[in-house]
Amino acid sequence: MEHRRLVIIGSGAAGWTAALYAARAGLKPLVVAGIQPGGQLTITDDVENYPGFPDPIGGPELMARMEEQALRYGTEVAHDTVVRVDFDQYPYVLEGEEHQWKADSVIIATGAAARWLGVKGEEAFMGRGVSACATCDGHFYRGKEVAVVGGGNTAVEEALYLSNLCSKVHLIHRRDSLKAERILQDRLLGNPKIEVHWNRAVAEIAGTEGLQGGVTHVVLDRTDGDGPQEELRVDGVFAAIGHDPATAVFRGQVDLDDHGYVRVTPGTTRTGKKLLHAAGDVADPHWRQAVTAAGMGCMAALDIERTLAAETA
């Protein structure tokens, strides 16, 4: 079994940034790239909020550049997926579908994925009217009318954010009360640009086909009875019904919160186990941005490098 100083699980913004710092520190990190190399950004068309790129850059290109930069300094990549870990023994043991490794240190950077509504039209209009990130895509809907689906903190925050850009925001929620914190609810309900559609579920996202096409309306079902379907004219739909962190393989091996995110000591990337860190969306239910993921990757690598250096001093 190959023995590595550092294995990074995941190849999104957190993983590549951790690899860049670790490689420059001489740790020869191995990145196990996983089933969606590049992570969530590879399904993002234009990234307009990553510092240093005043012109929009495609998500896949940004990730390719991060990879190239990490490789330049000696990062190695395994095109494999980790299917089992043993963090109860040290050095840690990682099993991929094809390889196995022992590791003195590990950074979990497996990310998270937005939950989608799973309704007709959603996939067809993905990136052309359907999004799961207002901070990323809200800008494209300046002065337009949009719908946000969900009733938790994310949905309310997305609706409030979009109300600063859009002419009108429709919050569509399947029940008659919100799950979001009181203070957020008060802001939402007091915002004249936001209309809440209680007891409604999106049945279909509809629009026009073709390159110039896009979403034109959503069809709503009533969830409180048998009333007729309704049509709501909107230019965009934001799914805000939660995220699923990619932590199934770590269950029982590292502390997870109630939503499945890796629990880290606030202000750090430490999981509580020696030289086992978590960085990026897998450990971040709040910010979930490429730049915050990259920042956490950097923190994890620097912390590990310093601990390893102190151990061998």
Does residue 260 interact with ligand NDP by CB under 6 A?
A: no
Considering only the stretches 63-71, 83-91, 152-160, 207-215, report the one whose residues sit in contact with ligand NDP under the rule CB under 6 A: 152-160
Does residue 241 interact with ligand NDP by CB under 6 A?
A: yes
Considering only the stretches 36-44, 49-57, 173-181, 211-219, report the one whose residues sit in contact with ligand NDP under the rule CB under 6 A: 173-181
CB of 119 to ligand NDP, least distance (A): 9
Does residue 56 interact with ligand NDP by CB under 6 A?
A: no
Does residue 149 interact with ligand NDP by CB under 6 A?
A: yes
When binding is defined by CB under 6 A, the residue of 74, 152, 214, 260 that contacts ligand NDP is: 152
Does residue 214 interact with ligand NDP by CB under 6 A?
A: no
When binding is defined by CB under 6 A, the residue of 120, 286, 306, 311 that contacts ligand NDP is: 286
When binding is defined by CB under 6 A, the residue of 259, 272, 274, 311 that contacts ligand NDP is: 259
Q: What is the DSSP string of the chain?
A: -EEEEEEEE--SHHHHHHHHHHHHTT---EEE--SSTTGGGGG-SEE--STT-SS-EEHHHHHHHHHHHHHHTT-EEE---EEEEE-SSSSEEEEESS-EEEEEEEEE---EEE-----BTTTTTBTTTEES-HHHHGGGGTTSEEEEE-SSHHHHHHHHHHHTTSSEEEEE-SSSS--S-HHHHHHHHT-TTEEEETTEEEEEEEEE-STT-EEEEEEEEESSSSPPPEEEE-SEEEE-S-EEES-GGGBTTB-B-TTSPBP--TTS-B-SSTTEEE-SGGG-SS---HHHHHHHHHHHHHHHHHHHHHHH-
| Cβ-closest position to ligand NDP | 152
Count Cβ neighbours within 10 Å for each residue of 277-294 and write b for 16 or more, e otherwise: bbbbbbbbbeebbbebbb
Between CA 22 and CA 24 the distance in angstroms is: 5
- Quick one: 88 or 176, whose CB is closer to ligand NDP? 176
Active site residues: 133, 136-137
Q: Map the footprint of ligand NDP across residues 84-143, applying CB under 6 A.
A: 117
CA 229 distance to own-chain centroid? 32
Does residue 175 interact with ligand NDP by CB under 6 A?
A: yes
Beta bridge partners of 100: 95
When binding is defined by CB under 6 A, the residue of 58, 60, 127, 285 that contacts ligand NDP is: 285
What are the phi and psi torsion angles at 38 (to 5°)? 95, -20
CB of 104 to ligand NDP, least distance (A): 33
CB of 173 to ligand NDP, least distance (A): 6
Considering only the stretches 93-101, 150-158, 191-199, 295-303, report the one whose residues sit in contact with ligand NDP under the rule CB under 6 A: 150-158
Considering only the stretches 27-35, 73-81, 148-156, 247-255, report the one whose residues sit in contact with ligand NDP under the rule CB under 6 A: 148-156
Does residue 242 interact with ligand NDP by CB under 6 A?
A: yes
Does residue 151 interact with ligand NDP by CB under 6 A?
A: yes
Interacting residues with ligand NDP (CB under 6 A): 117, 149-155, 157, 174-175, 179, 201, 241-243, 259, 285-286
